[in-house]
Structure 1
């Protein structure tokens, strides 16, 4: 008998009818002889609704109370799915993150999993039950409820699969697998039968919403057999594995985009040997994730440093910089918002020169302004104006010959 961890996203459990469909899928797997642990997200856009409600009360809700609030969304889902299973004769039990033994670091809203005591889940499995676990959440050593950040249910599923040494981890979503671009934006996007861990990690980090980056990182580290497929049909999904297949000779496997980007510029920073180290150490201490970094000389003794952050982090980043202005001795800091990031990703880029040039030419021909650029062996990213993002993604997708003949099928949220 094999053990499978299945994760169902918000769209998959967005209505009572969809929850009942998920229950039938789980029962089908148990009837085939599998033991099932299902990780579930909050229903539909209920997390967004909770966030909006909090912001109606205060512009800056406390992170502890936000974790207390947001974890309720997953608790609704696990209870309803367990009821749906029991209603069709399948013994099942729901568990919150802490009941499932998930211990995280003592950080709110973006905690990392430190340890999983899988004994409660194993006990329930031995009793013949399907275990339904709330994704996205855990508990700190001090007993505080924590969340793993948006999209953290993927991480919960992969981490549980690793801890339980599951035979497979299936991520169920509203598309049939991993596509060459977001099919909502590029209807001609193609589904990939397989993609390497490294390519998937880049795509996820750069904005491809089908998988959370930390989930891919965890799957690679623990060699979790990971697949992405649709909860709305029986189509084969995309396998995430160690080595790429170089599918159909593609140099570029996909186009990713992130529409929530801002550029921060710290001006007149002293050109001291440790200036950059101090700047980014301060940001790291405040858990501010920095992406692309560009340094430019301004005068003999000063320089400007620009870096990109999430659009949600702009105010906090500027507040942190202002609080440490005397220590860093910079002149001023300014933010440029309403930006996006478009990226090309592909293992084939390692052995094919000229890919970056093709990307830049494509964007130039489309009239897209490039504000920042970052490269690695298997990706090139450009920060551009938000207003030009959709056109840029479609142009790049066509330029690298990724278009399919038929439009992709996407199931929207009810």
Structure 2
């Protein structure tokens, strides 16, 4: 008997028809003699709808009250799915995050899982119940409901799989697995049979929306085998697991991230310690910085450019504007109309010239590069947002056969 954790995203449980489809998948897995724990997201656009309702009442609502509201979306999904499973004649119980033992930090809206105490889950499994758990949520030390941030249901599923030592964690979405690029934008994108944790983590971090990056990080830490697959087609998906030592594909995937903005500090005095002071100010406010470019010093000054998420742009500017005057820099400028395009692949480590091929593809498509960042398994470029989709297609055509016109 295996223990299988199955997570279903919002599109998979969006309406009655799809809920019954999910119930069919779950009960078939159960009928094969497996113990099954199901983690669900809110239906369809429920979370966005709830945010819109909140803004109608109070655009400046506290994060605590927002969490109280947003956790209701997953509760609806869990109870409706349990009802569908009941109707099919199977034993089932639905649990809220706190009932399932999720204890989190108190950072409302972006809480971190501190521990999972799965006593209730185990008791229900011992009764041979299918256990349906609300993803994306937990409870903090004040007994308040908290949410884990967007994509948090993936993290909930992997956390349960880790603490329960599950044999497999399946992440069901509306795509058939992990592709070399977004199949909705790139016609000749290929589905991967398998991908390493490191490659998947990079893709998730760089904008690929198949898996939440925190869930991949956790899966790697605890050695949880993931399978990404579609709840709609019921075909084999993509296995995410530890990398093997066999020869790897040069590039595993291409990702695009529109949720970026470029910030530039112009005329920073060219003396030691100022970069540290600038970025420590942002770090103190939990603002993540990605690509960083510093110009060569000239006339006693230099320029420092970096990227932040769109959500953090205003706070970043508010922090830096008064500080720039204190350190003697000239000004802070920013650009919201940018995007980040990245290639990821463990095979790059042993294949020189990969960056040149990517840059050639962008040159041939007449796309200008603003900033570049590299690591052992990724190359990211910052470009104009209007060129992003064209860039993804051009780069994909360069590294994969059966190219189509840009």
How high is the TM-score relative to the length of structure 1? Answer: 0.92
Greater mean alpha carbon deviation, residues 266-275 or residues 69-78: 266-275
> Is the 1:279–1:328 contact (alpha carbons within 8 Å) kept by the matching residues of 2?
no
Matched, 1:29 2:33: no
Q: Distance in 2 between matches of 1:59 and 1:333?
A: 28
> Is the 1:374–1:381 contact (alpha carbons within 8 Å) kept by the matching residues of 2?
yes
Q: Distance in 1 between matches of 2:147 and 2:268?
A: 36
Q: In structure 2, do the counterparts of structure 1 residues 52 and 272 end up closer, same or farther at CA, with 3 Å as the change threshold? A: farther
Deviation at 1:2, TM superposition (A): 1.0
Matched, 1:373 2:346: no
What does residue range 118-129 of structure 1 map to in structure 2 within 5 Å? 118-129=118-129
Q: What's 1:189 paired with?
A: 189
> Is the 1:194–1:244 contact (alpha carbons within 8 Å) kept by the matching residues of 2?
no
> Is the 1:397–1:403 contact (alpha carbons within 8 Å) kept by the matching residues of 2?
no
What does residue range 251-262 of structure 1 map to in structure 2 within 5 Å? 251-262=250-261
What does residue range 44-83 of structure 1 map to in structure 2 within 5 Å? 44-57=44-57, 59-83=59-83
Q: Please give the root-mean-square deviation of Cα atoms over the aligned residues, in Å.
A: 2.0
Q: How many residues align?
A: 404
Deviation at 1:51, TM superposition (A): 2.4
Please state whether the residue corresponding to 2:207 is helix, strand or coil: coil
> Is the 2:97–2:139 contact (alpha carbons within 8 Å) kept by the matching residues of 1?
yes
Q: What's 1:266 paired with?
A: 265
> Is the 2:397–2:403 contact (alpha carbons within 8 Å) kept by the matching residues of 1?
no
Q: In structure 2, do the counterparts of structure 1 residues 272 and 93 end up closer, same or farther at CA, with 3 Å as the change threshold? A: farther
Q: What's 2:145 paired with?
A: 145
The Cα offsets for residues 53-111 of structure 1, whole Å up to 9 and x where unpaired, read as 33445555432222222211111111111111112111211112112111112212222
Q: Distance in 1 between matches of 2:123 and 2:102?
A: 15
Please state whether the residue corresponding to 1:49 is helix, strand or coil: helix
Deviation at 1:321, TM superposition (A): 2.6
Structure 2: any 5+ residue segments left out of the alignment?
none
> Is the 2:324–2:332 contact (alpha carbons within 8 Å) kept by the matching residues of 1?
no
Q: What's 1:397 paired with?
A: 396
**Structure of higher RCO (CA pairs closer than 8 Å, 6+ residues apart):** 1
The Cα offsets for residues 358-413 of structure 1, whole Å up to 9 and x where unpaired, read as 101110110112111110111100111111111111111111015589xxxxxxxx
Could you list the runs of 4 or more consecutive aligned residues of structure 1 that deviate by over 6 angstroms after TM superposition? none
> Is the 1:103–1:139 contact (alpha carbons within 8 Å) kept by the matching residues of 2?
yes
The Cα offsets for residues 168-200 of structure 1, whole Å up to 9 and x where unpaired, read as 100001111111001111121111000111111
The Cα offsets for residues 89-134 of structure 1, whole Å up to 9 and x where unpaired, read as 1121111211211111221222221111111111111122111111
Q: Distance in 2 between matches of 1:324 and 1:142?
A: 36
Q: What's 2:168 paired with?
A: 168
> Is the 2:261–2:338 contact (alpha carbons within 8 Å) kept by the matching residues of 1?
yes
Greater mean alpha carbon deviation, residues 257-266 or residues 348-357: 257-266
Please state whether the residue corresponding to 1:215 is helix, strand or coil: helix
Q: What's 2:101 paired with?
A: 101
The Cα offsets for residues 310-332 of structure 1, whole Å up to 9 and x where unpaired, read as 11221122223346556666443
Q: In structure 2, do the counterparts of structure 1 residues 245 and 90 end up closer, same or farther at CA, with 3 Å as the change threshold? A: farther
Greater mean alpha carbon deviation, residues 317-326 or residues 45-54: 317-326
Q: Distance in 2 between matches of 1:237 and 1:23?
A: 19
